[in-house]
Each structure stands twice: as structure tokens, then as C-alpha cells.
Amino acid sequence: MRVALFVTCLADLMKPGVAFAAIRLLEHGGCTVEVPQTQTCCGQPAYNSGDRATALALAKKTLAEFEGFDYVVAPSGSCGGMIRAHYPELFRDDPATLKRIEGLASRTYELTDFLVNVLKLDSVPGDFRGTVTYHDSCSGLRELGVKAQPRALLATLPGVTLTEMNEAETCCGFGGTFSLKFGEVSTQLADNKCGNACATGADAIVGGDLGCLLNIEGRLRRRGDLKTQVLHIAEVLAGRTE
């Protein structure tokens, strides 16, 4: 099975380890993983900012780069949701491309969703030890139905105890450019999330989207918490990738 990794722009720039962890997990599940080298961004920032033309151009670019694979997997519910839930809407007036886009959308998965529902993994190589609490990112949760999948995978790790936080499904306040435009409100929402997460006493806050995780970690550190780890689910599940 040839699987293309959609790296995501945030993993590429901020946390390459997340993409390597995703590759390790996919290979552990028996996939042949390829990484199209010209990929950049799915176009969501443009799409959500009202710049439909740029979003459309980036969607076409993504289509050309990823169309030839059995599956496309992204370590992000946000980018996965953009391709799966929103690309078809972008091409509503272009029936020829729409068919191809719908094909791409139907083959595109968020990482944990793919590991559980396509690869049907029942073990992962991770060796994390400690308590974690899981933040449900909005796009993954509400556009792709990612809720049980990461928890099922965490449950296969003997050293991990999951402690649920209050309001796990409430937005952390990231919202892409929202975090810059409405900084005070965004910070407040991140602060609520940190409060709920820390109240569990977990060693690590885990999530499936780097946008949320940067936001949560950024607020957590500003609050003076240098101890609680903030980790992408791929890093926890894959263990050491070096």
C-alpha cells in the first residue's frame, strides 16, 4: 500500500519529529511511505481568510502532488479536514476536477484515524511512560470524527495512563489567523484549556494538531509551567524516531 505523507507546513517548519514519527507509525503498519517533495500547504489559512483564489490554487497543487497514491495521511485533523471536508466545496463549479478531488478526499485520512480504521493497528512502538490528557482538536473531532481513535491507540501503550480533562472538546482558541487577530481572546481560550489540562495533573498534554499544541504550549510556558510536556500524538505513539 503506497501512502503519501502530507507533512503539514507546521510539522515541516516547527516540529519535523512529528512527521518522522508519522512515517515510523505508517511503516510499522506495513505501508510504503512516500513524501512528495514539492508539497507546501493545504491552503486552509487562505480558505479561512476568505482568499478563495489562493486556496483553490493550493488545492490544485495538492491534487497534482497526491493524486497518484492509495492513501494520503496527515498528522493533523485540520489539514486532513481541509482536504476531506472542504476541497470538494472549492471545486463545486468545476465538475471535471470535482470528481478527482472527491477521489482524493475519500482517500485522505488523519493519522490516528488511518492507523485505527484502515491499518487496524493494535500495537504501536511507543514507549512513553506517564499520565497524559488528550485535547480533541476541533477539525479532527467535528469534521473527521476523530475521538476514539487516538484514545484506542494510547490504550495499547502499557506505560500510558489517560486522564480526561474537563471540556476536552472545547476549542483551545488557536483558530489559525484568529490567534493573531484576536490575540487576547485566543489567549484566554488557551488559558482555559491549560487550566483544564493541568487540573488533571497529567505529565503531558497530547493532541493531534500542531496548531493547537503550539498555542497550548505557548500559553502554558507563559503561565510559568515549564514542566508539563506538550506532545503530538504521533510522537507518543511512535516512540524515539532517532
Partner 1 sequence: MELRSNEFKARAAANLGDAKLQKGLGLIKVKAVVNRANAVAEFGDFEALREAGKAIRNRALADLDLYLERFEREATARGAVVHWAENASEACRIVVAIARENGVKTVAKSKSMVSEEVGLNDTLIEAGVTPIETDLGEYILQINDAEPPSHIVMPVIHKTAEDVADLFHEKHGTPRKTDPAALTREAREILRPKFLSADMGVSGANFLVAETGSTLIVTNEGNGRLCTTLPRLHVALTGIEKVVPTLEDASTLLRLLPRSATGQAITNYVSVHTGPKHIDESDGPQQFHIVLVDNGRSKLLAGEMREMLRCIRCGACMNHCPVYQAVGGHAYGWVYPGPMGNILTPSYVGLENAVALPNAATMCNQCGVVCPVKIPLPDLMRKLREEQMARGLKPWPERAGLALWGWAAQQPALYALGTRIAARFMKWLGGSEKLIHRLPLAAGWTNGRDFPAPEGRTFRELYKARRK
Nearer to partner 1, 157 or 214 (CB): 214
Sheet holding 32-34, edge to edge: 32-34, 2-5, 71-74, 108-110
Task: State the binding string over 192-221 for partner 1 (x if CB under 8 A, else -).
Answer: x---------------------xx-xxx-x
Q: 187: buried, middle or exposed (CB in 10 Å: 19+, 13-18, 0-12)?
A: middle
| C-alpha grid cell, residue 225 | 509551567
Nearer to partner 1, 7 or 124 (CB): 7
Nearer to partner 1, 84 or 219 (CB): 219
**Under rule CB under 8 A, residue 68 binds partner 1:** no
The radius of gyration of the chain from alpha carbons, rounded to an integer in Å, stands at 17
**Under rule CB under 8 A, residue 187 binds partner 1:** yes
Sequence-ordered list of residues with C-beta below 8 angstroms from that of 82, at least 6 positions apart, any chain: 42, 43, 44, 47, 139
Q: Which residues bind partner 1 (CB under 8 A)?
A: 7, 9, 11-17, 19-20, 35, 37-41, 43, 45-52, 54, 57-58, 61, 89, 138, 142-143, 167, 169-171, 173-192, 214-215, 217-219, 221-222, 230
